[in-house]
């Protein structure tokens, strides 16, 4: 029996999103970095970014409903509003550069974020909840969200420093994912990246991600998130090298 290439692509995208959403659920971040590193092996980068944005909305809704009592709007409001200002810039860059350059930038971004994470861990950098920090991390996140729908890394460092318990941290991350994903999805619709072409992939990704999230959130409360974060940041450079080799 010959399996249609389209079906193989659909299955691969669903599997990638299941893995990415599971890591997101158990660690509080990592979905977009894993998904956006692996999906370009299957589909063009702009379609991958659109699929990721729409899937993040579904993941965000699921997690925000579960963690709604732990959301502190005073923590998340300014970073999210700041991200909105630069998401448009990120999408402009996504639509301007070709896939080869976008993959190169993504690989470089992953290497930078890995080094940034280990630097913060080694030097035990402690950030305070200030207007500057909220705006700065929000603006950086907006650019990476627009280009690759990568919301987590900068917010991870910021929220981990200013929240006092695990569930508030998790709720802050998930609410930020939801808001950034909604805004980014609207922009992707406007530029034509979310269409009849990508809709089947989006629906498959959402189904896979919701299942992964249901399983992962049960593990989250019993797991050491720092160890999971460390594992993700060790894995990501390897994925980035694979992306460069394919490029």
Confidence of residue 2 (pLDDT cuts 50, 70, 90): very low
How many folded domains does the chain comprise?
1
- At residue 223's C-alpha, the angle toward residues 75 and 235, to 5°, is 90
Residue 204 has pLDDT above 90, yes or no: yes
pLDDT tens for 82-96 read 999 999 999 999 999
| Token digits of residue 202 | 């989006």
Packing angle, helices 99-123 and 225-246, rounded to 10: 150
Residue 47: φ, ψ to 5°: -70, -40
Q: Is the dihedral of CA 39, 42, 45, 51 positive or negative?
A: negative
Question: Which pTM was predicted?
Answer: 0.79
Q: Does residue 57 or residue 4 have the better pLDDT?
A: 57
Token pair recorded at residue 116: 């940034």
DSSP 90-132: HHHHHHHS-HHHHHHHHHHHHHHHHHHHHHHHHHT------HH
pLDDT at 234: 72
Q: Which of 71-75, 133-137, 214-218 has the lowest mean pLDDT?
A: 214-218
How remote is the C-alpha of 221 from its chain's centroid? 21
Predicted pLDDT at 229? 64
Alpha helix ranges (H) inside the chain = 5-27, 31-38, 45-67, 73-96, 99-123, 131-148, 152-162, 166-191, 199-220, 225-246
Residues above pLDDT 70, as percent of the chain: 87
Pairwise CA distance, residues 102 & 75, whole Å: 32
Residue 216 pLDDT level (bands cut at 50, 70, 90): confident
pLDDT category, 59, cuts 50, 70, 90? confident
> HSE of 77 in the Cβ direction (CA atoms, 13 Å)?
4
Domain that holds residue 120: 5-246
pLDDT at 24 over 90: no
Whether residue 29 is predicted with pLDDT greater than 90 in this model: the reply is: no
What is the band of 99 on the pLDDT scale with cuts at 50, 70, 90? Answer: confident
C-alpha to C-alpha distance for 20 and 90, rounded to whole angstroms: 22
Pairwise CA distance, residues 5 & 10, whole Å? 9
């Amino acid at each position: 029996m010959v399996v249609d290439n389209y079906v193989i692509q659909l299955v691969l995208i669903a599997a990638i999103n299941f893995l990415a959403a599971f890591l997101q659920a158990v660690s509080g971040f990592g979905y977009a970095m894993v998904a956006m590193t692996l999906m370009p092996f299957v589909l063009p980068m702009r379609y991958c970014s659109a699929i990721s944005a729409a899937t993040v909305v579904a993941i965000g809704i699921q997690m925000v409903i579960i963690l709604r009592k732990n959301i502190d709007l005073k923590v998340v409001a300014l970073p999210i509003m700041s991200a909105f200002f630069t998401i448009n810039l990120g999408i402009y860059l996504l639509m301007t550069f070709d896939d080869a350059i976008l993959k190169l930038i993504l690989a470089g971004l992953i290497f930078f974020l890995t080094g940034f994470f280990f630097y913060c861990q080694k030097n035990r950098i402690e950030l305070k909840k200030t207007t500057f920090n909220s705006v700065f991390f929000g603006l950086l996140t907006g650019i990476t969200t627009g280009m690759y729908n990568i919301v987590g890394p900068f917010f991870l460092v910021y929220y981990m420093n200013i929240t006092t318990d695990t569930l508030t941290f998790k709720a802050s991350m998930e609410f930020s994912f939801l808001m950034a994903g909604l805004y980014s999805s609207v922009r992707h619709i406007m530029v034509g990246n979310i269409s009849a072409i990508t809709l089947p992939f989006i629906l498959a990704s959402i189904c896979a991600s919701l299942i992964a999230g249901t399983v992962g959130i049960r593990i989250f409360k019993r797991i050491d998130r720092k160890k999971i974060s460390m594992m993700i940041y060790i894995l990501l450079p390897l994925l980035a090298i694979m992306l460069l080799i394919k490029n």
